[in-house]
Amino acid sequence: MTNRLRLKPLGIGWLALPGAGYLVLVFALPLLALLASSLFDAEGAFSLAGYGNFLGDSYNAKVVWNTLKIATSVTLICLLIGYPAAFAMARAPVAVQGLMFLALILPLSVGVVVKSFAWTILLRSNGPVNALLLQLGLIDEPLKLLFNERGLIIAAVHVFLPFMVLPIFTVARQIDSRFMDAAATLGGGPLYRFRHVVWPLSLPGVVTGCAFVFSMAVSMYVIPALIVGDRYQTLPALLARAYLFMRDRQAGSTMAVMLLIIAVSIVLLSSWLGRRIEARQQRAQEAA
């Protein structure tokens, strides 16, 4: 009786069809169509001219360069702040951890538009940030923080920092403090312990965090639109303009595909790195 009515394991697989089919139709195939439309010219012949024309234009090449540069700076600053913060959090008492979760997740649950708007208030020349710096005597006259790269980086770091801290926190929590004690008894100084114990063990979290932050920073649109406006063009801004205002499909799809290639290569690179780190840790464990 029970045997006949048991949910058959093989039969269950079909349940994924509606959802997976939906994403194929509405997500995967449209992306492939976009890729195709960037590879064929107006007469329908295969050509890479779209890419040649796009990158040949020095203005466009500079925009791509700016986009990658900003995303790299944002990722590095997030790592520089997020790494020590994640470890401090992992070693903090439970109550402090709870407050830090709140401080990271509440901003995450508030929209990007609201947060970018908040930074336009904070960063004005007579805004709170400048007032604080003046009062502390760190600067003599207000810094220009809006409508330039500096402000963009500050706001982007704020929006993406939780995506760096949380994955690193997850691995930091698992690094047993006995490892550190063991390394210390073996005579390793703090720097030695960091390089040979802490850093290698935290690498999976670092890779995940950097992949998240970089891929989001490359494709951010709302933050630059509010903080810098048109003065500083990035690839997403150029892409949106090509479609929404210029109605230039060939150029638009070329840019979209370039953005897509960057995103896909980050995913592939991070999963490859993740596998390599895992394999190395396994080898180290077997050797031990």
Partner 1 sequence: MNSEKLWHFGSNLILLLVAIFMLAPLVVVVMVSFSSSPVFNLPAPEWSLRWYSALLHKDGLGAVLWLSVKVALVSTLAALVLGTLCAIAIAHGRFRGRDALLAFLVSPLMMPGLVIGVALLQVLREVGLRDVLGALIIGHIVITLPYITRTVHASLALFDMRLIEAARTLGLSPARAVLQVMVPSLAPAFLTSGLFAFLASMDNYPISIFLTDARNKTLPIEILRYLEESPDPTIAALSAGLILFAIIVLFLAERMVGMRRLAQF
- Please check whether residue 156 is in contact with residue 70, taking contact to mean a CB–CB distance below 8 angstroms: yes
| 269 near partner 1 (CB under 8 A) | no
* 268 scored as a contact of partner 1 (CB under 8 A): no
Smallest separation, CB 287 to partner 1 (Å):
28
Instruction: Please report, as residue ranges, which positions from 226 to 255 form the binding site for partner 1 (by CB under 8 A).
Output: 226, 236, 239-240, 243-244, 249, 252-253
3-state SS string for 112-163: HHHHHHHHHHHCCCCCHHHHHHHHCCCCCCCCCCCCCHHHHHHHHHHHHHHH
Per-residue interface string for the shown chain with partner 1, residues 20-59, x marking contact by CB under 8 A: x-xx--xxxxxx-xx--x----------------------
Query: Is 98 a binder of partner 1 (CB under 8 A)?
Result: yes
Task: Give the number of other Cβ atoms within 10 Å of residue 198's Cβ.
Answer: 19
Task: Specify whether the CB–CB gap between 160 and 216 falls below 8 A.
Answer: yes
- State yes or no: residue 208 binds partner 1 (CB under 8 A): yes
Interface residue with partner 1, options 39, 158, 273, 281 (CB under 8 A):
158
* Contact positions with partner 1 (CB under 8 A) in 121-140: 121-122, 124, 126-128, 131
Question: Is there a contact between 112 and 159 (Cβ–Cβ < 8 Å)?
Answer: yes
The residue from 70, 74, 104, 201 that contacts partner 1 (CB under 8 A) is 104
Q: Which residue number, 201 or 266, has a Cβ lying nearer to partner 1?
A: 266
Instruction: Name the minimum Å distance from CB 155 to partner 1.
Output: 8
Least Cβ distance, residue 9 to partner 1 (angstroms): 4
Q: How far is CA 230 from CA 71, 177, 184, 203, 222, in A?
A: 18, 50, 54, 37, 12
- Is residue 105 near partner 1 by the rule CB under 8 A? yes
Binding mask 76-95 for partner 1 (x = CB under 8 A): -----x--xx-xxx-xx---
- In angstroms, what CA-CA distances link 70 with 148, 168, 183? 11, 22, 38
Other C-beta atoms within 10 Å of 152: how many? 27
d(CA 231, CA 5): 66
Q: Would you count residue 169 as binding partner 1 (CB under 8 A)?
A: yes
> Which amino acid makes up residue 100?
M
- Min separation Cβ 156 and partner 1, Å: 13
Smallest separation, CB 163 to partner 1 (Å): 8
Q: Which of 64, 74, 165, 201 binds partner 1 (CB under 8 A)?
A: 165
Between 7 and 287, CB nearer to partner 1: 7
* DSSP element (H, E) containing 28: none
The size of the interface with partner 1 (CB under 8 A), counted in residues, is 95
Nearer to partner 1, 49 or 118 (CB): 118
Amino acid symbol at 266:
I
The per-residue b/e assignment along 163-194, b for 16 or more CB within 10 angstroms, e otherwise, is bbbbbbbbbbeebeeeebeebeeeebeeeebe
